[in-house]
Structure 1
Amino acid sequence: MGETDAGVAEGDAHDHEHEHRSRWPIVGAAGAAILYTGAALALVGNRAGIFPSPVGVGIAVVGFAVLTGGLVGWLRQAYLSDYWARAASDRKRRAYRATMVIFLVTDVATFGAGFVYYFYVRIWTWPPGELPELVGSLVLVNTALLVASSVTLHFAHEALDEGHRRRFLALLGATFALGVVFLAGQIAEYATFVGEEEFTLTSGVFASAFFGLTGLHGLHVALGVVLVGIVLWRALRGQYDAERDTSVSTVSLYWHFVDAVWLFLVAVLYVGAEISL
């Protein structure tokens, strides 16, 4: 190889090392900020008489669309572009996983703020007057569904590592379906509380904590369903094997985190709310 060829090869390698510097994470972060702002305006602005609720909802919808677009663009650039031409190096695979871990650590702070509010509420007279019957069959079924989805995703990844493609696809599809059913169950729970119990976001301080935390978690599950759906779509195209599983492992980290948060949320918010200190 001549000096010129060596220089070109070195330049290509340098470009490959830095090609994932992207605007898409910034787009996704902006979408998340718009989403949270819209939700806050929808929930607080109308109640305070300073902002119409429908406008806040519209802003939140736009934010969710921008967030989803940022994530899709990021995934496309990081994972789909030139997928068949080369595999990610071990260093890049570790970097992707580390990035997901850092994101989840920051997400702990997001949930932590909501739990701090709930624990502060618990300092005062308990139980509050608006407390409904929280622990019922629906929440138990939802919990079983989410735990089962973590199990199916874990064994799907194992099947991929062992080269069992059909089992991998079946278990990945089951994970996606369980996530969708969980979201439907949470919507049904909200409908029950609002319709039969007359327990709404504006019922009191506990209600704001309950719907805030469960709604935040539901948003994370919805995002997780989108991510698992993307992984499933790519898997159906044959884009994974034991050496090309970076997105499977990073999405698995996210999904297991969401599952763990739900178990803590059930223990503290559902069961814990019915225990008088």
Structure 2
Amino acid sequence: MSSNSTPYYYVPGLSRHPAMAALGLVAFGFGMTGWVNQASWGAPVTAVGVIWVLFVLYQWFGDTIAEANAGKNGINVDVSYRWSMAWFIFSEIMFFAAFFSALFYARSIALPWLGDVDSKIIWPNFTAAWPNDGPAGLVEKFTTMGPWPIPTINTLLLLSSGVTITIAHHAVVENHMKKASIWLAATVALGVIFLGFQVYEYYHAYHDLNLKLTSGIYGSTFFLLTGFHGFHVFLGGLMLAIVLRRMIRGDFTADNHFAFEGAAWYWHFVDVVWLGLYVVIYWM
């Protein structure tokens, strides 16, 4: 559609998607609550919530892509997309900041309190050293997860993926879509390999190190931080896979490819968060 026929600001009609997504998110949250409390229905309800949300997003993004391909998105819609993605990533930064803050509070504030002179009266044998299984002796002994080899390999994988997606971005700007598709596919592949290594890491933690979500504050912060990051890698990889499909289909041009840019922003955010996790979780 020519620029003369593109709406100044396209306003879509009423949509069922927000309400349907909300139902899926409620199911996900309810299921996770049961799952972490070891309820038998927790995992199935969580799975239903995830599948439902993914189904809704598939339809929702499909409608949005159709609107873009029909030429309904003018400059103002493009600007709103950019602001929306920027604020979404900012909300994700605050999300991880909360978990990093919880880890900092446990290590630098709560742990010294438990090891001070007054607390020695209650827990005389407690040593305020990180990592810790708690002062009451209720946590099973576990071994911490070191930085080698899997976390270091995963760090190299994500750093490499940051390079491949940057090459793909430059190729898109230069209108070399075949080259961009190859490097974008490499980025998705690196993300899949990362997740595969993380699954193996969790298996190793549970079966060989006795490191579990219930392993005190160390176990809970380890699995919450790395687990939520892994979930974000999955979401980022899903975004990139969809963008790759659209790129192969010919939806993008050198001047119109924000879907790719937005997914690339998110992927770089995932990379940066992992670097923080790698240092704070595995080395400190």
The one-letter amino acid paired with 1:145 is L
Structure 1 residue aligned with 2:238:
226
Structure 1 residue aligned with 2:273:
261
Instruction: Name the one with the larger helix percent.
Output: 1
Shift of 1:31: 2.9
Between the aligned partners of 2:170 and 2:149, the Cα distance in structure 1 is 32
Shift of 1:264: 1.1
Between the aligned partners of 1:257 and 1:33, the Cα distance in structure 2 is 26
Structure 2 residue aligned with 1:40:
33
The one-letter amino acid paired with 2:12 is E
SS at match of 1:191: helix
Between the aligned partners of 2:15 and 2:162, the Cα distance in structure 1 is 30
The one-letter amino acid paired with 1:113 is A
Between the aligned partners of 2:65 and 2:102, the Cα distance in structure 1 is 38
SS at match of 1:18: coil
The yes-or-no answer on 1:179 pairing with 2:191 is yes
Structure 1 residue aligned with 2:41:
55
Shift of 1:163: 1.2
Structure 1 residue aligned with 2:136:
none
The yes-or-no answer on 1:28 pairing with 2:21 is yes
SS at match of 1:163: coil
Structure 2 residues without counterparts, runs of 5 or longer? 112-127, 134-141
The yes-or-no answer on 1:147 pairing with 2:159 is yes
CA deviation string 1:145-183 (max 9, x = no partner):
111112211211110110112110100100110110010
Shift of 1:132: 1.3
Say if 1:25 and 1:71, in contact at 8 Å, map to a contact too.
Answer: no
Between the aligned partners of 1:270 and 1:32, the Cα distance in structure 2 is 31
The yes-or-no answer on 1:71 pairing with 2:64 is no
CA deviation string 1:65-92 (max 9, x = no partner):
1221232222111123461x32632221
After TM superposition, the score normalised by the length of structure 2 is: 0.82
Say if 1:163 and 1:241, in contact at 8 Å, map to a contact too.
Answer: yes
Structure 2 residue aligned with 1:126:
129
After TM superposition, the score normalised by the length of structure 1 is: 0.84
2:95 to 104, 110, 113: 110
Structure 1 residue aligned with 2:11:
18
The yes-or-no answer on 1:157 pairing with 2:169 is yes
SS at match of 2:208: helix
CA deviation string 1:243-272 (max 9, x = no partner):
220100111111111111111111212212
Structure 1 residues without counterparts, runs of 5 or longer? 1-8, 47-51, 273-277
Percent of pairs with identical residues: 32
The one-letter amino acid paired with 2:195 is L
The yes-or-no answer on 1:189 pairing with 2:201 is yes
The yes-or-no answer on 1:210 pairing with 2:222 is yes
Say if 1:24 and 1:74, in contact at 8 Å, map to a contact too.
Answer: yes
Say if 2:32 and 2:43, in contact at 8 Å, map to a contact too.
Answer: yes
Q: 1:216 to 1:70 in 2, by over 3 A?
A: same
Say if 2:143 and 2:209, in contact at 8 Å, map to a contact too.
Answer: no
SS at match of 2:250: coil
1:96 to 81, 92, 100: 81
1:242 to 243, 247, 254: 254
Shift of 1:131: 4.7
User: What is the aligned-residue RMSD (CA, Å)?
Assistant: 2.2
The one-letter amino acid paired with 1:110 is F
